Structure 1
Amino acid sequence: MSENGKTPVDFWFDPVCPWAWMTSRWMLEVEKVRDVEVRWHVMSLSVLNEDKMDEVPEQYREGLKEAWGPVRVAIAARELHGDEVLGKLYTALGTRFHNRGEDVGREAVAAALAEAGLPADLVEYMDRDTYDTQLRASHKEGIDKVGQEVGTPVIAVPGADGEQVAFFGPVVTPAPRGEEAARLWDGTLLVASIPGFYEIKRTRTLGPDFSNL
Protein backbone atom coordinates (compact mmCIF):
# COMPACT_ATOMS: atom_id res chain seq x y z
CA MET A 1 0.00 0.00 0.00
CA SER A 2 1.11 3.57 -0.62
CA GLU A 3 1.14 6.19 2.12
CA ASN A 4 -2.45 7.19 1.30
CA GLY A 5 -3.64 3.59 1.66
CA LYS A 6 -4.20 3.03 -2.04
CA THR A 7 -2.73 0.14 -4.01
CA PRO A 8 0.17 1.35 -6.18
CA VAL A 9 -0.03 0.50 -9.86
CA ASP A 10 3.21 0.95 -11.78
CA PHE A 11 2.63 1.79 -15.45
CA TRP A 12 5.39 1.88 -18.10
CA PHE A 13 4.56 3.86 -21.25
CA ASP A 14 6.03 5.17 -24.47
CA PRO A 15 4.12 8.36 -25.35
CA VAL A 16 4.04 7.59 -29.09
CA CYS A 17 2.22 4.24 -28.74
CA PRO A 18 -1.54 4.61 -29.39
CA TRP A 19 -2.40 1.34 -27.65
CA ALA A 20 -0.50 2.30 -24.50
CA TRP A 21 -2.37 5.61 -24.63
CA MET A 22 -5.72 3.81 -24.69
CA THR A 23 -4.70 1.64 -21.75
CA SER A 24 -3.42 4.63 -19.79
CA ARG A 25 -6.75 6.47 -20.18
CA TRP A 26 -8.54 3.33 -18.95
CA MET A 27 -6.12 3.22 -16.01
CA LEU A 28 -7.08 6.77 -15.05
CA GLU A 29 -10.69 5.66 -15.09
CA VAL A 30 -9.80 2.72 -12.85
CA GLU A 31 -8.38 5.22 -10.35
CA LYS A 32 -11.90 6.65 -10.03
CA VAL A 33 -13.63 3.32 -9.42
CA ARG A 34 -11.04 1.28 -7.51
CA ASP A 35 -8.74 2.20 -4.63
CA VAL A 36 -5.56 2.41 -6.72
CA GLU A 37 -2.94 5.02 -7.54
CA VAL A 38 -0.95 5.02 -10.79
CA ARG A 39 2.80 5.60 -10.72
CA TRP A 40 4.13 6.48 -14.18
CA HIS A 41 7.39 5.21 -15.67
CA VAL A 42 9.03 5.62 -19.07
CA MET A 43 9.85 2.78 -21.43
CA SER A 44 10.89 3.03 -25.07
CA LEU A 45 9.81 1.25 -28.23
CA SER A 46 13.02 2.57 -29.81
CA VAL A 47 15.12 0.83 -27.16
CA LEU A 48 12.99 -2.30 -27.41
CA ASN A 49 13.55 -2.58 -31.16
CA GLU A 50 17.05 -1.16 -31.62
CA ASP A 51 18.70 -4.59 -31.93
CA LYS A 52 16.15 -5.89 -34.43
CA MET A 53 15.64 -2.97 -36.81
CA ASP A 54 16.34 -5.27 -39.77
CA GLU A 55 13.20 -7.19 -38.80
CA VAL A 56 11.04 -4.07 -38.44
CA PRO A 57 8.85 -3.31 -41.50
CA GLU A 58 10.15 -0.34 -43.47
CA GLN A 59 7.09 1.81 -42.73
CA TYR A 60 7.75 1.63 -38.98
CA ARG A 61 11.49 2.31 -38.97
CA GLU A 62 11.24 6.06 -39.38
CA GLY A 63 8.63 6.19 -36.62
CA LEU A 64 10.97 4.38 -34.25
CA LYS A 65 13.69 6.92 -35.01
CA GLU A 66 11.30 9.80 -34.26
CA ALA A 67 10.13 8.07 -31.08
CA TRP A 68 13.46 8.76 -29.36
CA GLY A 69 12.56 12.44 -28.99
CA PRO A 70 9.48 12.28 -26.73
CA VAL A 71 10.86 9.60 -24.40
CA ARG A 72 14.11 11.53 -24.02
CA VAL A 73 12.12 14.61 -23.03
CA ALA A 74 10.01 12.56 -20.61
CA ILE A 75 13.02 11.02 -18.89
CA ALA A 76 14.74 14.41 -18.71
CA ALA A 77 11.62 15.88 -17.09
CA ARG A 78 11.65 13.07 -14.54
CA GLU A 79 15.34 13.45 -13.77
CA LEU A 80 15.18 17.23 -13.42
CA HIS A 81 11.72 17.72 -11.91
CA GLY A 82 10.71 14.44 -10.26
CA ASP A 83 8.48 11.44 -10.92
CA GLU A 84 5.33 13.42 -10.18
CA VAL A 85 5.55 15.41 -13.43
CA LEU A 86 5.32 12.35 -15.69
CA GLY A 87 1.57 11.80 -15.54
CA LYS A 88 0.68 15.35 -16.53
CA LEU A 89 3.34 15.44 -19.26
CA TYR A 90 2.18 12.10 -20.66
CA THR A 91 -1.39 13.35 -20.81
CA ALA A 92 -0.31 16.50 -22.64
CA LEU A 93 1.85 14.56 -25.11
CA GLY A 94 -0.65 11.77 -25.71
CA THR A 95 -3.54 14.16 -26.29
CA ARG A 96 -1.58 15.86 -29.03
CA PHE A 97 -0.11 12.77 -30.67
CA HIS A 98 -3.21 10.59 -30.56
CA ASN A 99 -6.43 12.51 -29.96
CA ARG A 100 -5.41 15.46 -32.16
CA GLY A 101 -3.16 13.60 -34.58
CA GLU A 102 -0.29 16.09 -34.32
CA ASP A 103 3.15 15.15 -35.60
CA VAL A 104 5.64 13.66 -33.15
CA GLY A 105 7.86 16.71 -33.41
CA ARG A 106 9.24 19.72 -31.56
CA GLU A 107 6.12 21.86 -31.92
CA ALA A 108 3.84 19.32 -30.24
CA VAL A 109 6.39 18.47 -27.56
CA ALA A 110 6.98 22.15 -26.77
CA ALA A 111 3.23 22.75 -26.45
CA ALA A 112 2.89 19.70 -24.19
CA LEU A 113 5.68 20.96 -21.93
CA ALA A 114 3.95 24.32 -21.62
CA GLU A 115 0.63 22.67 -20.79
CA ALA A 116 2.31 20.51 -18.15
CA GLY A 117 3.91 23.57 -16.57
CA LEU A 118 7.44 22.44 -17.37
CA PRO A 119 10.37 24.53 -18.64
CA ALA A 120 10.42 25.14 -22.38
CA ASP A 121 14.09 24.25 -22.68
CA LEU A 122 13.31 20.58 -21.96
CA VAL A 123 12.41 20.29 -25.65
CA GLU A 124 16.12 20.42 -26.42
CA TYR A 125 16.51 16.95 -24.93
CA MET A 126 14.70 15.48 -27.94
CA ASP A 127 18.08 15.50 -29.68
CA ARG A 128 20.29 14.74 -26.70
CA ASP A 129 21.36 11.44 -25.17
CA THR A 130 22.08 13.07 -21.79
CA TYR A 131 19.74 10.79 -19.88
CA ASP A 132 19.79 7.73 -22.12
CA THR A 133 21.34 5.66 -19.33
CA GLN A 134 18.40 6.50 -17.08
CA LEU A 135 15.96 5.89 -19.94
CA ARG A 136 17.40 2.44 -20.55
CA ALA A 137 17.31 1.66 -16.84
CA SER A 138 13.64 2.66 -16.58
CA HIS A 139 12.83 0.65 -19.70
CA LYS A 140 14.72 -2.39 -18.36
CA GLU A 141 12.94 -2.23 -15.02
CA GLY A 142 9.57 -2.56 -16.74
CA ILE A 143 10.46 -5.03 -19.47
CA ASP A 144 12.34 -7.34 -17.08
CA LYS A 145 9.07 -7.90 -15.27
CA VAL A 146 7.34 -9.35 -18.33
CA GLY A 147 9.99 -10.43 -20.86
CA GLN A 148 11.25 -9.20 -24.22
CA GLU A 149 8.35 -10.49 -26.35
CA VAL A 150 6.00 -7.64 -25.43
CA GLY A 151 5.83 -3.89 -25.86
CA THR A 152 4.15 -1.01 -24.07
CA PRO A 153 2.33 -0.68 -21.74
CA VAL A 154 3.61 -2.78 -18.87
CA ILE A 155 1.63 -2.76 -15.62
CA ALA A 156 2.81 -4.10 -12.27
CA VAL A 157 0.79 -4.46 -9.07
CA PRO A 158 1.46 -6.01 -5.65
CA GLY A 159 0.60 -9.72 -5.57
CA ALA A 160 -0.89 -11.68 -2.68
CA ASP A 161 2.59 -12.61 -1.45
CA GLY A 162 3.88 -9.05 -1.65
CA GLU A 163 5.83 -9.66 -4.85
CA GLN A 164 4.78 -7.68 -7.90
CA VAL A 165 2.60 -9.28 -10.57
CA ALA A 166 3.28 -7.73 -13.97
CA PHE A 167 1.67 -8.00 -17.40
CA PHE A 168 1.58 -6.37 -20.83
CA GLY A 169 -1.62 -4.56 -21.75
CA PRO A 170 -4.53 -4.95 -21.68
CA VAL A 171 -4.94 -3.90 -25.30
CA VAL A 172 -8.45 -2.49 -25.58
CA THR A 173 -10.43 0.03 -27.63
CA PRO A 174 -12.17 2.28 -26.86
CA ALA A 175 -10.99 2.93 -23.28
CA PRO A 176 -13.65 1.46 -20.96
CA ARG A 177 -15.46 3.81 -18.59
CA GLY A 178 -17.22 3.47 -15.25
CA GLU A 179 -18.24 -0.01 -14.20
CA GLU A 180 -16.91 -1.52 -17.41
CA ALA A 181 -13.46 -0.14 -16.54
CA ALA A 182 -13.77 -1.65 -13.06
CA ARG A 183 -14.78 -5.06 -14.39
CA LEU A 184 -11.87 -5.15 -16.84
CA TRP A 185 -9.49 -4.24 -14.02
CA ASP A 186 -10.87 -6.92 -11.70
CA GLY A 187 -10.69 -9.55 -14.43
CA THR A 188 -7.19 -8.58 -15.50
CA LEU A 189 -5.93 -8.86 -11.92
CA LEU A 190 -7.65 -12.22 -11.55
CA VAL A 191 -6.00 -13.86 -14.54
CA ALA A 192 -2.64 -12.17 -13.97
CA SER A 193 -2.52 -13.55 -10.42
CA ILE A 194 -2.64 -17.18 -11.59
CA PRO A 195 0.85 -18.74 -11.60
CA GLY A 196 1.72 -19.99 -15.06
CA PHE A 197 -0.94 -17.91 -16.82
CA TYR A 198 0.54 -16.19 -19.87
CA GLU A 199 -1.87 -15.10 -22.55
CA ILE A 200 -5.37 -14.41 -23.79
CA LYS A 201 -5.50 -13.00 -27.30
CA ARG A 202 -7.70 -12.50 -30.34
CA THR A 203 -7.21 -10.77 -33.70
CA ARG A 204 -7.72 -7.02 -33.60
CA THR A 205 -10.59 -5.91 -35.81
CA LEU A 206 -10.56 -2.25 -34.78
CA GLY A 207 -7.86 0.38 -34.52
CA PRO A 208 -7.48 2.70 -31.53
CA ASP A 209 -10.73 4.62 -30.98
CA PHE A 210 -10.13 7.94 -29.21
CA SER A 211 -13.69 9.21 -29.56
CA ASN A 212 -14.53 8.99 -25.83
CA LEU A 213 -11.27 10.54 -24.59
Structure 2
Amino acid sequence: MGTVTAETAHTAETAETAETADGATTADFWFDPLCPWAWITSRWMLEVQQVRPVRTRWHVMSLAVLNEGRDLPEQYRSFLDEAWGPVRVCIAAAAQHGDDVLGPLYTALGTRFHHQGLPRDRATIEDALEEAGLPRELAAAADSDAYDEALRASHKEGITLVGEDVGTPVIAVPGADGEQIAFFGPVVTPVPRGEAAGRLWDGTLLVAGTPGFYEIKRTRTVGPSFE
Protein backbone atom coordinates (compact mmCIF):
# COMPACT_ATOMS: atom_id res chain seq x y z
CA MET A 1 0.00 0.00 0.00
CA GLY A 2 1.53 3.31 -1.04
CA THR A 3 1.85 6.31 1.20
CA VAL A 4 -1.19 8.56 1.22
CA THR A 5 -0.64 12.28 1.74
CA ALA A 6 -2.64 14.43 4.10
CA GLU A 7 -4.05 16.33 1.16
CA THR A 8 -5.56 13.26 -0.49
CA ALA A 9 -6.72 11.55 2.69
CA HIS A 10 -8.14 14.45 4.69
CA THR A 11 -10.91 16.28 2.84
CA ALA A 12 -12.63 18.25 5.62
CA GLU A 13 -12.23 21.99 5.12
CA THR A 14 -12.02 24.14 8.24
CA ALA A 15 -12.88 27.18 6.16
CA GLU A 16 -16.37 25.83 5.45
CA THR A 17 -19.14 27.94 6.85
CA ALA A 18 -20.42 27.04 10.30
CA GLU A 19 -23.95 27.23 8.94
CA THR A 20 -25.10 24.75 6.31
CA ALA A 21 -27.41 25.43 3.38
CA ASP A 22 -30.44 24.32 5.40
CA GLY A 23 -29.60 26.67 8.26
CA ALA A 24 -28.16 24.03 10.59
CA THR A 25 -25.14 24.89 12.72
CA THR A 26 -22.05 22.76 12.15
CA ALA A 27 -20.12 21.30 15.06
CA ASP A 28 -16.70 19.86 14.25
CA PHE A 29 -15.86 16.93 16.50
CA TRP A 30 -12.44 15.25 16.85
CA PHE A 31 -12.45 11.78 18.39
CA ASP A 32 -10.27 8.80 19.16
CA PRO A 33 -12.45 5.66 19.10
CA LEU A 34 -10.76 4.27 22.22
CA CYS A 35 -11.53 7.23 24.51
CA PRO A 36 -14.61 6.49 26.67
CA TRP A 37 -15.19 10.18 27.45
CA ALA A 38 -15.11 11.14 23.78
CA TRP A 39 -17.60 8.35 23.11
CA ILE A 40 -20.08 9.73 25.65
CA THR A 41 -19.70 13.26 24.28
CA SER A 42 -20.23 11.98 20.75
CA ARG A 43 -23.48 10.29 21.77
CA TRP A 44 -24.53 13.61 23.32
CA MET A 45 -23.98 15.27 19.94
CA LEU A 46 -26.29 12.72 18.32
CA GLU A 47 -28.91 13.63 20.92
CA VAL A 48 -28.38 17.34 20.21
CA GLN A 49 -29.07 16.74 16.53
CA GLN A 50 -32.52 15.49 17.47
CA VAL A 51 -33.54 18.66 19.34
CA ARG A 52 -31.51 21.47 17.73
CA PRO A 53 -30.68 22.36 14.10
CA VAL A 54 -27.14 21.00 14.36
CA ARG A 55 -25.00 18.85 12.11
CA THR A 56 -21.86 17.11 13.39
CA ARG A 57 -18.82 16.87 11.17
CA TRP A 58 -16.54 14.07 12.37
CA HIS A 59 -12.74 14.16 12.42
CA VAL A 60 -10.05 11.87 13.82
CA MET A 61 -7.55 12.75 16.50
CA SER A 62 -5.15 10.33 18.13
CA LEU A 63 -4.34 9.69 21.78
CA ALA A 64 -1.19 7.91 20.59
CA VAL A 65 -0.03 10.98 18.69
CA LEU A 66 -1.08 13.31 21.51
CA ASN A 67 1.06 11.42 24.05
CA GLU A 68 4.16 10.82 21.95
CA GLY A 69 7.33 11.51 23.91
CA ARG A 70 5.58 11.75 27.27
CA ASP A 71 6.66 9.81 30.36
CA LEU A 72 3.62 7.62 31.02
CA PRO A 73 2.73 4.65 33.23
CA GLU A 74 3.36 1.31 31.53
CA GLN A 75 -0.32 0.35 31.62
CA TYR A 76 -1.32 3.50 29.77
CA ARG A 77 1.56 3.05 27.35
CA SER A 78 0.17 -0.39 26.45
CA PHE A 79 -3.24 1.18 25.92
CA LEU A 80 -1.71 3.72 23.54
CA ASP A 81 0.04 0.98 21.59
CA GLU A 82 -3.43 -0.45 20.88
CA ALA A 83 -4.78 2.99 19.99
CA TRP A 84 -2.90 3.27 16.68
CA GLY A 85 -4.95 0.65 14.86
CA PRO A 86 -8.50 2.05 15.09
CA VAL A 87 -7.53 5.63 14.19
CA ARG A 88 -5.48 4.43 11.23
CA VAL A 89 -8.46 2.46 9.98
CA CYS A 90 -10.75 5.48 10.38
CA ILE A 91 -8.38 7.68 8.39
CA ALA A 92 -8.01 5.02 5.69
CA ALA A 93 -11.79 4.65 5.44
CA ALA A 94 -12.25 8.42 5.05
CA ALA A 95 -9.48 8.59 2.45
CA GLN A 96 -10.98 5.85 0.33
CA HIS A 97 -14.71 6.40 0.87
CA GLY A 98 -15.14 10.00 1.99
CA ASP A 99 -15.42 11.74 5.35
CA ASP A 100 -19.13 10.90 5.65
CA VAL A 101 -18.22 7.32 6.61
CA LEU A 102 -16.55 8.46 9.82
CA GLY A 103 -19.79 8.86 11.78
CA PRO A 104 -21.17 5.37 11.07
CA LEU A 105 -17.75 3.76 11.51
CA TYR A 106 -17.17 5.52 14.83
CA THR A 107 -20.56 4.32 16.04
CA ALA A 108 -19.80 0.74 15.00
CA LEU A 109 -16.36 0.77 16.64
CA GLY A 110 -17.43 2.59 19.79
CA THR A 111 -20.40 0.31 20.39
CA ARG A 112 -18.09 -2.70 20.27
CA PHE A 113 -15.31 -1.18 22.38
CA HIS A 114 -17.33 0.61 25.05
CA HIS A 115 -20.69 -1.17 25.31
CA GLN A 116 -19.81 -4.72 24.32
CA GLY A 117 -16.27 -4.74 25.75
CA LEU A 118 -14.89 -6.54 22.70
CA PRO A 119 -11.13 -6.76 22.13
CA ARG A 120 -9.51 -4.02 20.06
CA ASP A 121 -8.30 -6.52 17.52
CA ARG A 122 -8.62 -7.02 13.78
CA ALA A 123 -11.71 -9.21 14.00
CA THR A 124 -13.62 -6.55 15.96
CA ILE A 125 -12.51 -3.83 13.54
CA GLU A 126 -13.52 -5.94 10.53
CA ASP A 127 -17.00 -6.48 11.96
CA ALA A 128 -17.36 -2.74 12.64
CA LEU A 129 -16.31 -1.95 9.07
CA GLU A 130 -18.89 -4.37 7.71
CA GLU A 131 -21.63 -2.84 9.86
CA ALA A 132 -20.69 0.60 8.53
CA GLY A 133 -20.97 -0.67 4.95
CA LEU A 134 -17.23 -0.61 4.36
CA PRO A 135 -14.84 -3.32 3.09
CA ARG A 136 -13.45 -5.57 5.79
CA GLU A 137 -10.09 -5.33 4.04
CA LEU A 138 -9.69 -1.79 5.37
CA ALA A 139 -8.73 -3.35 8.70
CA ALA A 140 -5.28 -3.99 7.24
CA ALA A 141 -4.58 -0.26 7.67
CA ALA A 142 -4.37 -0.83 11.43
CA ASP A 143 -0.90 -2.33 11.01
CA SER A 144 0.34 0.09 8.35
CA ASP A 145 1.85 3.56 8.60
CA ALA A 146 0.69 4.47 5.08
CA TYR A 147 -1.97 6.83 6.43
CA ASP A 148 -0.01 8.25 9.34
CA GLU A 149 0.71 11.56 7.60
CA ALA A 150 -3.01 12.09 7.07
CA LEU A 151 -3.73 10.97 10.65
CA ARG A 152 -1.27 13.50 12.03
CA ALA A 153 -2.73 16.23 9.83
CA SER A 154 -6.26 15.55 11.07
CA HIS A 155 -5.03 15.47 14.67
CA LYS A 156 -3.07 18.70 14.21
CA GLU A 157 -6.12 20.45 12.75
CA GLY A 158 -8.07 19.94 15.96
CA ILE A 159 -5.16 20.61 18.32
CA THR A 160 -4.25 23.80 16.48
CA LEU A 161 -7.75 25.11 17.16
CA VAL A 162 -7.89 24.19 20.84
CA GLY A 163 -4.27 24.18 22.10
CA GLU A 164 -1.83 21.58 23.37
CA ASP A 165 -2.89 21.03 26.99
CA VAL A 166 -6.04 19.02 26.24
CA GLY A 167 -7.22 15.53 25.44
CA THR A 168 -10.07 14.02 23.46
CA PRO A 169 -12.74 14.95 22.51
CA VAL A 170 -12.24 18.33 20.88
CA ILE A 171 -15.31 20.18 19.65
CA ALA A 172 -15.32 23.37 17.56
CA VAL A 173 -18.45 25.52 17.33
CA PRO A 174 -19.24 29.00 15.99
CA GLY A 175 -18.12 31.89 18.17
CA ALA A 176 -19.57 35.40 18.44
CA ASP A 177 -18.36 36.41 14.98
CA GLY A 178 -18.87 33.01 13.37
CA GLU A 179 -15.24 31.97 13.80
CA GLN A 180 -14.47 28.48 15.09
CA ILE A 181 -14.02 28.31 18.85
CA ALA A 182 -12.72 24.95 20.04
CA PHE A 183 -12.91 23.32 23.46
CA PHE A 184 -11.82 20.09 25.09
CA GLY A 185 -15.05 18.38 26.05
CA PRO A 186 -17.67 18.82 27.29
CA VAL A 187 -16.82 15.93 29.60
CA VAL A 188 -20.08 14.54 30.95
CA THR A 189 -21.56 11.26 32.12
CA PRO A 190 -23.99 9.70 31.49
CA VAL A 191 -25.18 10.95 28.09
CA PRO A 192 -27.63 13.88 28.41
CA ARG A 193 -30.82 12.99 26.56
CA GLY A 194 -33.54 15.00 24.91
CA GLU A 195 -33.94 18.60 26.00
CA ALA A 196 -31.16 18.17 28.58
CA ALA A 197 -28.81 17.56 25.65
CA GLY A 198 -30.17 20.66 23.95
CA ARG A 199 -29.61 22.84 27.00
CA LEU A 200 -25.99 21.70 27.28
CA TRP A 201 -25.55 22.56 23.60
CA ASP A 202 -27.08 25.99 24.19
CA GLY A 203 -24.59 26.53 27.00
CA THR A 204 -21.72 25.45 24.80
CA LEU A 205 -22.68 28.06 22.21
CA LEU A 206 -23.10 30.63 24.98
CA VAL A 207 -19.58 30.23 26.33
CA ALA A 208 -18.14 30.00 22.81
CA GLY A 209 -19.74 33.35 22.06
CA THR A 210 -18.21 35.00 25.14
CA PRO A 211 -14.92 36.71 24.21
CA GLY A 212 -12.10 35.66 26.50
CA PHE A 213 -13.85 32.58 27.90
CA TYR A 214 -11.46 29.64 28.36
CA GLU A 215 -12.41 27.11 30.98
CA ILE A 216 -14.93 25.63 33.39
CA LYS A 217 -13.76 22.54 35.26
CA ARG A 218 -14.32 20.44 38.37
CA THR A 219 -12.82 17.19 39.61
CA ARG A 220 -14.42 14.05 38.18
CA THR A 221 -15.74 11.80 40.95
CA VAL A 222 -17.24 9.01 38.79
CA GLY A 223 -16.12 6.97 35.82
CA PRO A 224 -17.72 6.97 32.37
CA SER A 225 -21.24 5.56 32.22
CA PHE A 226 -22.49 4.25 28.87
CA GLU A 227 -26.18 4.21 29.76
TM-score interval (norm. to shorter) = over 0.9
Question: SS at 1:179's partner residue?
Answer: helix
Map 1:169-184 → 2, pairs under 5 A: 169-184=185-200
- Aligned partners of 2:209 and 2:181: how far apart in 1? 7
TM-score by length of 2: 0.90
Q: Give the letter for the 1:24 counterpart.
A: S
Question: SS at 2:44's partner residue?
Answer: helix
Match of 2:5 in 1: none
Query: Structure 1: 5+ residue runs without aligned partners?
Result: none
TM-score by length of 1: 0.96
Map 1:36-185 → 2, pairs under 5 A: 36-52=54-70, 55-185=71-201
Query: Structure 2: 5+ residue runs without aligned partners?
Result: 1-18
- Aligned partners of 2:207 and 2:178: how far apart in 1? 17
Match of 2:13 in 1: none
Measure how far apart 1:202 and its partner are: 1.2
- Aligned partners of 2:135 and 2:196: how far apart in 1? 38
CA contact (8 A) 2:174 2:209 kept: no
Residue 205 of structure 2 corresponds to residue 189 of structure 1: yes
- Aligned partners of 2:141 and 2:22: how far apart in 1? 34
Instruction: State the 4+ residue runs in structure 1 displaced beyond 2 angstroms.
Output: none
Structural RMSD (CA)? 0.9
CA contact (8 A) 2:175 2:205 kept: no
Deviations 1:80-123 (A, max 9, x none): 00001000000000000001111111111111001001001100
Measure how far apart 1:3 and its partner are: 2.3
Measure how far apart 1:56 and its partner are: 1.3
Q: Give the letter for the 2:199 counterpart.
A: R
Equivalent of 1:29 in 23, 26, 47: 47
Map 1:11-22 → 2, pairs under 5 A: 11-22=29-40
- Aligned partners of 1:65 and 1:193: how far apart in 2? 38
Across the two proteins, how many residue pairs are aligned to each other? 209
